[in-house]
Amino acid sequence: MWLLAAHSQLRINGLTALHDSITNFYLCSIPEDYFGANYDATLDFSELGWTDVSIDGTAVSNGEYTFQLVEGGKYYLVTATCGCEVIHTRIGFTYLPLVWLQGEFGHEYVRGLVTLCMPGEVSAGQWHAKVKWRGWYTNYDFKHKRNYHIKFVDANGEKVDRRLFGLRKDNSWLLDAGQIDLARLRNRTATELWMDFNARPYWADREPEMLPGVRGEVVEVFLNGEYRGVFGFTEALDRKQLKIKKFDETTTPKTIHGQLWKTDRYNEITRMTGINNNWNNNSALWTGYEIKYPEIEDVKPTDWSVLYNAIDFVANSSDYEFCKHVGEYFDLPMIRDYMVLVQTLMADDNNGKNMVWVCYDRTEDKKLTLFPWDLDVTLGQCWNNAHYHYSAQGWNKEVSMSHQLLHRLKTLNPGHFYDGVIQRYHELRSTILSQESLTQRYAEKYELLMNSGAGQRESARWTNDSDIGGYDLNFPTEYNFIKNYIGKRLNYLDQNVFVFRQPLVGDINGDYMVDAADLNDVINAILGRYTGNLQDVDYNGDGVVDVLDLNTIINVILGSNNP
């Protein structure tokens, strides 16, 4: 049996208080209801060997003490004797769950121990796990606040599923550090937004329990006795979450059904502007893509052909072929909502990189669905803080449609696809994307950090660190920036001709003017010379392009008020 040594603990009303060896404080998680009130407590110092304990100058008699007016970020000064040594430390409280990681972690999975202390729960979970750093750029040598991938195991190293926070029961969980994010919770908040409005993929009716994103909790993490700050403890976006079909182990070779790929860098293949045939079915990697399901160890060889054929179609099909067949290759309602999400939040790092492509069951339908991943570079956050976010990710910019699928869907507008994107945006602007609703999401996360005291601890731990370009980590300033950014961004999107401005009636060519160019398109269509999508020039929608469409567009021109 393998086991890491446990750390000595202070217990408050039976709850474990975790110690930060860097700045010397103990942190205990209690229910939020106790904040703003006095907290009567019984303290147990037996594991620490303390005697003659006093807190804020008041002697602790028989371990009984009342903490006055508990607040986030407030600490109580402790003095005690331990043998011949006088101890000076502090005690603070949070209402966020606490996570204690033990182990020496790196790029590969190694054994470790995970302790989870839920607010007010005396029985803390303590479990064996395999843990590694997660990510690519975030794990360069000069990076400090790492992301972690946790896989729970038993004492013998065998896989064990665990249910955390009332979410799914699984062995695979993620700790998201928000490493470059000056608000720390952009990714968590944007993911929840996506979960609330996406169209749901084409197999959702067959798999009603599928989830098109990951849920999670905001926690505070300690690593080997050092406070590491605020993290999102989340599910993984994997086969189990998306409910895609498992591979068949009973056949030889094994039959692949559902597949999932992630992109981790920008190049012509991940942007679908070009293609190569260098993929190898004995490798999990191909030019910026990694196959996440099925894992290569389980179905070697794998098969890249479904993804390859979709990229080849986007990169090399004629405009006519693209418009006619794109819906056979891609789940267009989900891609519509993806485009709304990335433009609304200025998600400039999700346009080739940080994209998840999924096929539900390649033996039935090879159509691909798109999901966002790692939405930390949003609402003005720069991907590396090199120029701070104000100048790098301005609110008055369009997310570049350098991804060829998104670019062609916008510019060619097959079957009025991009008109549908615009309509979807304006439909959501009155509800989930209203300025009030969107701002409130970020306000709730900000209040969670500040009221629990986690924001103050995070700032003290990471301000001026190279992870954030040496800048101050100031949550009130950052929240005000986000709030102002949302207002300016939505106003820009509402009015900008090339993003989400409502189309003019009769604007066939999409230049936001109804004029002779639109009239010529209708005439050419009647004469059989129009090379675009005939649906675009069938102005009255009767299925025929004829003199009625011509008369209608003439009347619009004569009576329109064009900008």
> Same domain, yes or no, for 116 and 179?
yes
DSSP 416-455: GHHHHHHHHHHHHHTTTTSHHHHHHHHHHHHHHHHHHTHH
Regarding whether 350 and 317 lie in a shared domain, the answer is yes
Residue 217 lies in a domain: yes
Over its length of 563 residues, how does the chain's per-residue pLDDT go in tens digits?
A: 333 334 568 999 999 999 999 999 999 999 999 999 999 999 999 999 999 999 999 999 999 999 999 999 999 999 999 999 999 999 999 999 999 999 999 999 999 999 999 999 998 889 999 999 998 777 887 789 999 999 999 999 999 999 999 999 999 999 999 999 999 999 999 999 999 999 999 999 999 999 999 999 999 999 999 999 999 999 999 999 999 999 999 998 899 999 999 999 999 999 999 999 898 999 999 999 999 999 999 999 999 999 999 999 999 999 999 999 999 999 999 999 999 999 999 998 999 999 999 999 999 999 999 999 999 999 999 887 665 665 556 888 888 888 999 999 998 899 989 989 999 999 999 999 999 999 999 999 999 999 999 999 999 999 999 898 888 999 999 999 999 999 999 999 998 867 877 656 567 776 667 788 888 888 888 888 887 777 677 776 677 888 888 888 888 778 644 43
Query: What's residue 562's pLDDT?
Result: 43
* Residues 44 and 107 both lie in one domain: no
Q: Is residue 461 in a domain?
A: no
Residues 207 and 251 in one domain: no
* 146 located within any domain: yes
Q: Sheet holding 289-293: strands in order across? A: 285-286, 289-293, 259-263, 355-361, 365-372
Give the model confidence (pLDDT) of 350-374 as tens digits. 999 999 999 999 999 999 999 999 9
Domain membership of residue 17 (yes or no) is: yes
Do 231 and 325 share a domain, yes or no?
no
Tens-digit pLDDT profile for residues 245-282: 999 999 988 999 999 999 999 999 999 999 998 989 99
Global pTM reads 0.88
Same domain, 196 and 259: no
Q: Which of 214, 239, 264 is the last residue of a domain?
A: 239
524 in the same domain as 390: no
| CA 461/CA 85 separation, integer angstroms | 27
440 in a domain, yes or no?
A: no
How far is the C-alpha of 384 from the C-alpha of 550, rounded, in Å?
53
Position 203 in a domain: yes
Do 368 and 254 lie in one domain? The reply is yes
Residues 250 and 233 in one domain: no
| Neighbouring C-alpha atoms within 13 Å toward the C-beta of 553 | 25
Answer whether residue 436 is part of any domain: no
What's the number of domains the chain is made of?
4
> Last residue of some domain: 410, 431, 452?
431
Q: Is the domain of 340 the same as that of 284?
A: yes
Same domain, 325 and 415: yes
DSSP 466-511: GGGTT----HHHHHHHHHHHHHHHHHHHHH-TTTTPPPPTT-SSSS
79 and 104, same domain (yes or no): no
Judge whether 507 lies within some domain: no
Among the candidates 431, 450, 472, a domain finishes at 431
Domain that holds residue 31: 10-94
